[in-house]
Chain A
Amino acid sequence: MEPAILIGLLAAMLRLATPLLLGSLSGIWAERSGVVNIAIEGMMLTGAFAGYVVAERLLDAGVFDGDGTGHLWIGVLAAVMVGSLLGLVHAFWTQRFRTDQIVSGTALNILAVGVTAYALRLVYDVGGSTKLPETLPAILTWSVNGKDGPVGVSFTPLMVLAVVLCLLTHVVLFRTPWGLRTQASGEHPLTLTSLGLSVLATRYVNMAISGGLAGLAGAFLTLEGIGQFNEGMTSGKGFIALAVMIFGRWKPLPSLAAACLFGLADAMQIFLQTLGVEVPAEWLQMLPYVLTLVALMGLMGRSRPPAALGQVS
């Protein structure tokens, strides 16, 4: 195969893996502390929306000019904050009112779809949004000359940040007192109670972090990806991120590898389509989802979730 094609595939893989990695980290923070978070999808979508709207409004109001990236970064911040807020809502419902964690998560997902669609019309009067003139630019680009001109891999800021956060999650989870508390909260919360440490506080903080990471994944989609917001644009990435987390056995570093694998599957289907393979596009588009199912089937019984996951304290 021509190197340019491989590089193109690599670039697509990194771009597609980033939101999955951030989503899986979001899942790890929540589930390691004992809270099931199936609302990653909704948090991602809301984050994508909030990030886009804030950036676009700031630009429109002339606070920032289109040449800089200040408005984009404030958008990223807004996405993280909105995600965190939703994380806290999930924590509040499930811990304070002991709502079933799947029910609360499902409610948040449905809410996110409705609220973002409604707010989009409220702000713009249309079902789609205009494209931002710029998205977050690459920090580093590595390109080679291919048959049809130069092909390159761009390393964008949130992509790099995602990897840094993955390493950070690893260190915090396994090497800091807070990480040990988180693990205890997910495995055997009574341990904390019997030592006079608060399970509730642990879970609230972790859910805020979990939501923030999902929001950041959303910001990646709008502010570093396509530069605009479309209804339901996450299209199941939050759920695939959960599969990535399970495939990565609730650990950050294996989840990084898993995210790359899933990203590659997604990149492959796009690549095969452009290659004009004699297979209906719909079949190719199934690839990442089929991989999700196969991966989860292959892992049945071998991957062990935190013991107290989903239990009411």
Chain B
Amino acid sequence: MVPAVALEGITKIYPGVIANQDVDWTLEWGQIHALLGENGAGKSTLMNILYGMTTPDSGRILLEGREVLIASPSEAIRLGIGMVHQHFQLVGTLTVAQNILMGMEPRRWGLVDTAAAHERVRALADRVGLPIDPAALVEDLPVGMQQRVEILKVLARDARILIFDEPTAVLTPQEIALLGQVMQRLASEGKALVFITHKMREVQAVATHVTVMRAGRKVGVADPRKATAAELAALVVGRPLKAPPDAPASEGGAPLLRVENVSCRSSRGLEALSEVSLEVRAGEIVGLIGVEGNGQSELVEVLAGLRPVTGGKVLLAPRSGGTHVDLTRATPRARREAGIGHVAEDRLRRAVLKPWSIADNLVFDRFHLAPYARAGRLDHAAIRERGANLLARYRVKAPDAQTAVGTLSGGNQQKVVMARELDDRYHVLLIAQPTRGVDAGAAESIHDEMRALRDRGAGVLLVTNELDELLALSDRIGVVYHGEIVAWRARGTVTREELGRLMIGGRMTGDLGTPA
């Protein structure tokens, strides 16, 4: 059989970096082909070449055995190749139908024929089994639905080869399961699917073939139905990964952070949290999980001082011990001075300044303190030194600490944020989505740093969408549903299935644990 795509000897060199070196790769019809590799291994470059976003320096692209030149995305679309982007390419203020049919709208006397457009979208959605309301505004849709619009947009252009770039990075477990079914259905119709991911569990759940890349080269193939997650991860990182330590749950020491009956509103003015109480003790990691939009993000914002409360109290025990101080109305800086660090969920909006250097990003929380500031002047030597030290310790892939953070991959940006926040200056850490878009090797080291911090006596509040991460790190797990914490579980006493049920509101009698 002639493969759908055959890449032969693809090489792409950027100044100073070999993105792809002599890569041979084939994709057959009906395959769901996972492309694995660390951040910067060359997966995205390879797919960008296939989608016409960049051209290879050498090598050939064969589409159904015929050599083609793909100079632009429009050329790729014409050839039946579509990409579902990690960052959705959607216009929030337009409707679902307007987004899907952009540039190919049915017309009537020069105007967009809305009725016909909705009919076309509905017919397409029914045919592929992805029902959606064509008249809905995209910005009003949850993330999973927005991705559905992305997929339909690609299918509306008759794509037969679909590239999914980290499709599950921002999805909830329920949405991920649904996406897996959709991908399998598309493959069963004979389409060829490629997906880039960092999550081994998903590879095993849906992929039929696996290609692993490292440092721009193809280093191996695997059969996802036979290989274990650990074997796949080892292939990606180039060394076996440690199994997460199977330590018993930490009992925790004195309560550091006390949240008492806190309520707040969402950005839309609706009630986001209603009278939430919890404690984070010294030397424990408290994990919170919930379907996105149930209030866990708002809770972190409240605790970081980025969102006002409508009721309740936030109390923190000083590092030196003693009675708790009331931080309910304290500014974000005052909270940091008091010892609360914050790894923000939205990295680009709240955690880094892209045009600034790594070293400068590493002192955002302390640029006004000695030794980085002396008598109102910045000490650039001290800032550079801290940058160089943390760069090495966290193995950030960058030429030096003067590199702009915006030029790094998402995973390396996250390492910079972690390097800044997982610091002994803080004895309470608020950490949201610590490994979003981060590869397995880097995630392992981030997890190690978090455990080390805990073992040094810090209290950590972790909010994550990743069940595996939650289960591997948390000493206690709280499930957030509709602005309340509906259940507490200790480490090792809960299964993935039970958590999944609790997250969608499956509250059973006798099932309610008590906080703390």
Interface residues of A, Cβ cutoff 8 Å to B: 171, 175-177, 180-181, 183-184, 187-188, 190-197, 307
Task: Tell whether, in the assembled complex, residue B111 and residue A184 are in contact, meaning their CB atoms are under 8 Å apart.
Answer: no
A177's nearest neighbour on chain B, judged by CB, is B105
Q: How far is the CB of A303 from chain B (nearest CB, A)?
A: 13
B98's nearest neighbour on chain A, judged by CB, is A180
Task: Tell whether, in the assembled complex, residue A196 and residue B111 are in contact, meaning their CB atoms are under 8 Å apart.
Answer: no
Q: How far is the CB of A178 from chain B (nearest CB, A)?
A: 9
Give complex CA distance A184, B157 in Å: 18
Which one, A187, A190, A191, A196, contacts B74 given CB within 8 A? A196
Give complex CA distance A187, B137 in Å: 13
Chief secondary structure at chain A's binding surface: helix
Q: How far is the CB of B108 from chain A (nearest CB, A)?
A: 10
Which one, B75, B102, B157, contacts A197 given CB within 8 A? B102
Give complex CA distance A184, B105 in Å: 14
Which one, B73, B75, B98, B114, contacts A195 given CB within 8 A? B73
Q: How far is the CB of B118 from chain A (nearest CB, A)?
A: 14
Task: Tell whether, in the assembled complex, residue B91 and residue A188 are in contact, meaning their CB atoms are under 8 Å apart.
Answer: yes
What total of A-B pairs shows CB separation below 8 Å? 67
Given A175-B111, A196-B103; 17 other pairs, CB 8 A cutoff = A175-B112, A176-B112, A177-B105, A177-B112, A181-B103, A183-B94, A184-B91, A184-B102, A187-B93, A187-B94, A191-B102, A192-B103, A195-B103, A195-B153, A196-B74, A196-B75, A197-B102
Task: Tell whether, in the assembled complex, residue B73 and residue A194 are in contact, meaning their CB atoms are under 8 Å apart.
Answer: yes
Interface residues of B, Cβ cutoff 8 Å to A: 72-78, 83, 85, 89-94, 98-99, 102-103, 105, 107, 110-112, 114, 153, 157
Give complex CA distance A195, B98 in Å: 13
Task: Tell whether, in the assembled complex, residue B77 and residue A183 are in contact, meaning their CB atoms are under 8 Å apart.
Answer: no
With A177-B112, A181-B103 in contact, do A194 and B93 touch (Cβ < 8 Å)? Answer: no
Give complex CA distance A177, B91 in Å: 14
Task: Tell whether, in the assembled complex, residue B91 and residue A187 are in contact, meaning their CB atoms are under 8 Å apart.
Answer: yes
Q: How far is the CB of B19 from chain A (nearest CB, A)?
A: 20
Q: How far is the CB of B106 from chain A (nearest CB, A)?
A: 10
Task: Tell whether, in the assembled complex, residue B98 and residue A194 are in contact, meaning their CB atoms are under 8 Å apart.
Answer: no
| Cβ–Cβ < 8 Å partners of B77 in chain A | 195-196
Task: Tell whether, in the assembled complex, residue B94 and residue A180 are in contact, meaning their CB atoms are under 8 Å apart.
Answer: yes
Give complex CA distance A107, B112 in Å: 38
Give complex CA distance A184, B90 in Å: 8
Task: Tell whether, in the assembled complex, residue B92 and residue A307 are in contact, meaning their CB atoms are under 8 Å apart.
Answer: yes
| Cβ–Cβ < 8 Å partners of B85 in chain A | 194
Task: Tell whether, in the assembled complex, residue A194 and residue B103 are in contact, meaning their CB atoms are under 8 Å apart.
Answer: no
B114's nearest neighbour on chain A, judged by CB, is A175
28 contacts between A and B (CB under 8 A): A176-B112, A177-B103, A177-B107, A177-B112, A180-B94, A180-B98, A180-B105, A181-B102, A183-B93, A184-B91, A184-B94, A184-B102, A188-B89, A188-B90, A188-B91, A193-B73, A194-B83, A194-B89, A195-B77, A195-B89, A195-B102, A195-B153, A196-B72, A196-B73, A196-B74, A196-B78, A197-B74, A307-B92
Give complex CA distance A191, B153 in Å: 11
B76's nearest neighbour on chain A, judged by CB, is A196
Residue with the greatest number of chain B CB neighbours at <10 A, chosen from A187, A193, A196, A307: A196
B87's nearest neighbour on chain A, judged by CB, is A190
